[in-house]
Structure 1
Amino acid sequence: MIRKNYNSLLITHILDGNFTYVKNGKHTTAHKGDTVILDCYNPHEYYTENGFESIWIHVSGSNSYELFEEIEKSNGTLIKCKDIHYVEKLLFRIYDSIKGDTPPSELRISVDIYKLFAELLNFQTTKSLGENNYEDTVQQIKEYISDHLSENLTVNELAMAAHMSASHFSRIFKQQTGFSPYDYVLIFRLNRAKFLLKNTDLSVSTVAYKTGFNSESNFIYFFTENVGISPGKFRKLKF
């Protein structure tokens, strides 16, 4: 789904599954327990491969945008809060207040929204400096992978970009993402290929090139093995 020029903030908390959102050309995947905050006025899009369940609210107001800017500057738009249950409690309470049978208390809703913003803003303050540095480094490598996806990315190359040894980088990357660098790149290639097949008219060979495969036949084999159908058949599916 592609959206723009919607004058509000979107706060989405993932209850199950995962979805990927695209902002400024960057693809970011949110998983169960993650919270995403986006400015809906700016162009963005999102999609899911296997479905997801979430609770979400739209928020507007000048104070909300000021808080959003602070959150985005400090923590980005994908938030991994320590107290997931507290975030869910706040969101469900806001939702129930708005959708309930009795007239909503604007004061109570405003208080809960500010509590939610405070949680999103402050989640990182208790982390150690070293932990933050690793998160920043891994995020930079994710962006490097996205920007260089058409290239033959190796663990050694990614480790050099992170200024680490290959073994140390692989260990840190898996701690932060849950995937080895090799597996992460393959999954990223596959998800980008799915996105291009469904949202562009690029030929299969061009999609193969843009996602880093050295031949169309290798791409078709890899795609079919992992998705269960060929790229051509996948493109024809209606979701």
Structure 2
Amino acid sequence: MKSTELGVLRKSEVYFSSPSQTAKKLYYYPVSAGHFFCVKGYHLIRNNYNSLLITHIIDGTFTFVKDGKHTTARAGDTVILDCYKPHEYYTNDSFESIWIHISGANSFDLFQEIEKNEGNLVKCRDINHVKKLLFRIYEGISGDNPPTELNMSLDIYKLFAELLNPQSIKCKGESNYEDNIQEIKSYISENLNESITVQKLADKAHMSTSHFSRVFKQQTGFSPYDYVLITRLNKAKYFLQKTEMTVAAIAYETGFNSESNFICFFTENEGISPGKFRNLKF
């Protein structure tokens, strides 16, 4: 379907999709998708479109406005925007892009996590994979033999995964990060009953705390603080199921300050007390 918007060249295409009730309830789903070739004069200002926009810039420049700030994406960049509220984007030059508007499931929660960690402009490591996913979704909408809604949902989730963990290509001097972080993870596992601070871990990795925290999350998906807590929790589960250690002893062995703190944290995260968890059969 040809687009008739100002500044959009005639060779551009746009297609629309209507999800089933099942997809609305359970899946991620596309609302529309397009392959656009735009020139100066293209300028979209819209109050809402009840979806999220993911657009990958293949060539040229694409500028979006967020909180009054104009940010320009270039070839290879991917932009994700909240189109549930007023939004604006344009080009002062020209651009080619492949884009989709999506909704469903917990898509907005994923968007907020991406925006918090990466912002609205994301530089993905595997650009070709991002393009492949976007074109596959676009072709699924535009073709006569569309994929199942479940398969479409899986592709959208893979796209979210690329944006959630872009893992920029390592620069010279960063080649040992993976080994460093693995050593830190081993240290955490072997010293759970000690006081483990982010500063101590950063010192062991020979990095500043801010740089270490960024690299650690890039490598593991967790902040150092959250990773320590999750590791303590998982070790406590093992002790509860596989040993006869008292709850107090487990609290000490896994690094919680007291039995009461351990019980409170465990119950809040698992929804049941350590004692009830111990009695579960797996």
Call closer, same or farther: CA 1:125–1:29 in 2, change over 3 Å. closer
Shift of 1:124: 3.5
Shift of 1:125: 7.4
**Paired residue for 2:73?**
30
> Is the 1:24–1:44 Cα contact (8 Å) retained in structure 2?
no
**Paired residue for 1:123?**
166
**Paired residue for 1:100?**
143
**Paired residue for 1:17?**
60
* Aligned equivalents of 2:118, 2:76: Cα separation in 1: 16
**Paired residue for 2:244?**
none
Higher helix share: 1
TM (normalized to structure 1)? 0.51
> Is the 1:23–1:43 Cα contact (8 Å) retained in structure 2?
no
Deviations 1:162-182 (A, max 9, x none): xxxxxxxxxxxxxxxxxxxxx
> Is the 1:97–1:105 Cα contact (8 Å) retained in structure 2?
no
- Aligned residue runs from structure 1 range 177-188, under 5 A: none
Alignment partner of 1:56 out of 85, 95, 99:
99
CA RMSD of aligned residues (A): 1.9
> Is the 1:57–1:95 Cα contact (8 Å) retained in structure 2?
yes
**Paired residue for 1:230?**
none
Aligned residues: 130
CA radius of gyration, larger in: 2
**Paired residue for 2:153?**
110
> Is the 1:19–1:31 Cα contact (8 Å) retained in structure 2?
yes
* Aligned equivalents of 1:38, 1:124: Cα separation in 2: 20
* Aligned equivalents of 2:157, 2:66: Cα separation in 1: 25
> Is the 1:14–1:34 Cα contact (8 Å) retained in structure 2?
yes
**Paired residue for 1:191?**
none
Deviations 1:102-150 (A, max 9, x none): 143111111110000000000137768x99xxxxxxxxxxxxxxxxxxx
> Is the 1:75–1:124 Cα contact (8 Å) retained in structure 2?
no
Deviations 1:13-62 (A, max 9, x none): 00110111111101100000100000101222111111110000010114
- Aligned residue runs from structure 1 range 110-189, under 5 A: 110-124=153-167
Alignment partner of 2:84 out of 18, 41, 59:
41
1:111 maps to amino acid: L
SS state of the match for residue 104, structure 1? Answer: coil
Alignment partner of 1:6 out of 33, 38, 49:
49
Shift of 1:5: 2.1
Which segments of 5 or more consecutive residues in structure 2 lack a partner in the other structure? 1-43, 175-282
Matched, 1:79 2:127: no
> Is the 1:94–1:112 Cα contact (8 Å) retained in structure 2?
yes
* Aligned equivalents of 2:166, 2:108: Cα separation in 1: 18
> Is the 1:3–1:43 Cα contact (8 Å) retained in structure 2?
yes
> Is the 2:53–2:101 Cα contact (8 Å) retained in structure 1?
yes
* Aligned equivalents of 1:87, 1:14: Cα separation in 2: 11
SS state of the match for residue 21, structure 1? Answer: strand
Matched, 1:89 2:132: yes
SS state of the match for residue 167, structure 2? Answer: coil
* Aligned equivalents of 1:42, 1:11: Cα separation in 2: 15
Q: What is the aligned-residue identity percentage?
A: 72
> Is the 1:5–1:43 Cα contact (8 Å) retained in structure 2?
yes
**Paired residue for 2:181?**
none
